[in-house]
Amino acid sequence: MTEAAELVAEIEALGEKIAQARAAVAQRFIGQEKVVDLSLTALLCGGHGLLVGLPGMGKTLLVDTLGTVMGLSTGRVQFTPDLMPADILGSEVLETSADGSRAFRFIEGPVFCQLLMADEINRASPRTQSALLQAMQERQVTVAGQHRALPAPFHVLATQNPIEQEGTYPLPEAQLDRFLVQIDVDYPDRATERDVLLATTGVDEATAPQVFTADDLRAAQVTVRRMPVGEKVVELILDLVRACRPGEGEAGAAVNQSVSWGPGPRAAQALMLAVRARALLDGRLAPSSDDVVALARPILSHRMALSFAARARGESLAGIIDGVARDVTRAEAA
């Protein structure tokens, strides 16, 4: 069997397993297929996700279910203003043994897991938020001058309330950029909400079976990176990201007038990985231009900022990104 044929077989087998994982998640987290797919996309790409939604939308349930289905050890941190970095990373304590000798012992914090839920991450102080920066980017932490590797794979799924901003600390751009994707968790439709009512107010609580192991997920992340991407899709990713930057040659009037700063190269890297994962979720062997357009908002919206004048005019990043995606797609097709 040739290398190409082996890759095709590997992608097809992984696609079937991912379909099983989606079905398993749906047994506990009902509906909201787009939210589930974007969360799985973050995991398949080896990245982190920022879940933005109102309280009571099932974000905690989703993360807990993903941990079970994907076979990952989980941890949870409820971020509060008085939370300290040591509460996340861990700390050294001085212990006295039976013979009277003393030695320092490191007690691991909740970050030492494979899937960390950072609940209401914007409620902690910037000092504590920054404690996650090294962990998210380098998969290790430094405590008392010693580097300690985190378990592999390591993912952070953080939650954020979009409306309650009193007593919160907005995430700095450097940390926002480390989230591969922003996942907006909206209200469910009527049919889905009815199913949730019937499934969650009875005596028995639904459970989700394990489909993946940690090693399976690591192998899947390698397969995603091996998936081929056509030249047309690569050029579309570059055109889209560059067109969202004010002052760039490709930027239109709407971007120049309304956007303070645009996405950097990490956004293009995130799109390059995410379109492969989306194709895999759809059972395809390679991504298409439609994948780029569909993922434009989740990948770019937290990597851009509106100008004050644009906010005063009532503009939104979603509208600007959609407009840029339409313009770039038309230019590619012409």
Residue with structure tokens 């926002």?
176
Select from 204, 226, 248 the last residue of a domain.
Answer: 226
Select from 158, 191, 226 the last residue of a domain.
Answer: 226
Q: Same domain, yes or no, for 212 and 257?
A: no
Distance CA 325, CA 318 (A): 11
Q: Same domain, yes or no, for 30 and 118?
A: yes
CA–CA distances in Å: residue 315 to residues 89, 242, 255: 39, 20, 11
Select from 226, 244, 264 the last residue of a domain.
Answer: 226
Query: What residue numbers bound the domain in which 317 lies?
Result: 228-334
Q: What is the mean pLDDT of residues 164-185?
A: 82
Q: Same domain, yes or no, for 286 and 218?
A: no
Residue in 66, 62, 41 with CA at minimum distance from that of residue 52: 62
- The pairing of strands 115-119 and 155-160 is parallel
Could you tell me the CATH number of the domain that includes residue 274?
Answer: 1.10.8.80
Report yes or no on 94 lying in a domain: no
pLDDT band at 167; cut points 50, 70, 90: low
Number of structural domains the chain divides into: 2
- What are 76's strand-pairing partners? 117
Report yes or no on 101 lying in a domain: no
Q: State residue 287 phi and psi, 5-degree precision.
A: -75, 160
Is the confidence at residue 220, as pLDDT, over 90?
A: yes
pLDDT band at 297; cut points 50, 70, 90: very high
Indicate the average pLDDT of the chain.
88
Helix/strand/coil (H/E/C) assignment for every residue in 155-213: EEEEEECCCCCCCCCCCCHHHHCCCCEEEEECCCCHHHHHHHHHHHCCCCCCCCCCCCC
Q: What is the pTM of this model?
A: 0.90
Could you tell me the CATH number of the domain that includes residue 9?
Answer: 3.40.50.300
For the chain, where are the E strands, in sequence order? 49-53, 74-78, 90-96, 102-108, 115-119, 140-143, 146-149, 155-160, 181-185, 259-261, 305-306
Q: Same domain, yes or no, for 197 and 55?
A: yes
Q: Highest-confidence range of 99-108, 138-147, 166-175, 235-244, by mean pLDDT?
A: 235-244
Please state, for a pLDDT cut of 90, what percent of the chain lies above it: 40
Q: Same domain, yes or no, for 291 and 254?
A: yes
Q: Same domain, yes or no, for 72 and 211?
A: yes
Sign of CA dihedral 119, 120, 124, 129: positive
Q: Same domain, yes or no, for 42 and 152?
A: yes
Q: Same domain, yes or no, for 316 and 299?
A: yes
Q: Which residue type occupies 256?
A: N
Report yes or no on 15 lying in a domain: yes
pLDDT in tens, 37-66: 999 999 999 999 999 988 888 888 899 999
Report yes or no on 104 lying in a domain: no
pLDDT in tens, 138-164: 888 888 778 888 998 999 999 988 776
Q: State residue 164 phi and psi, 5-degree precision.
A: -90, 100
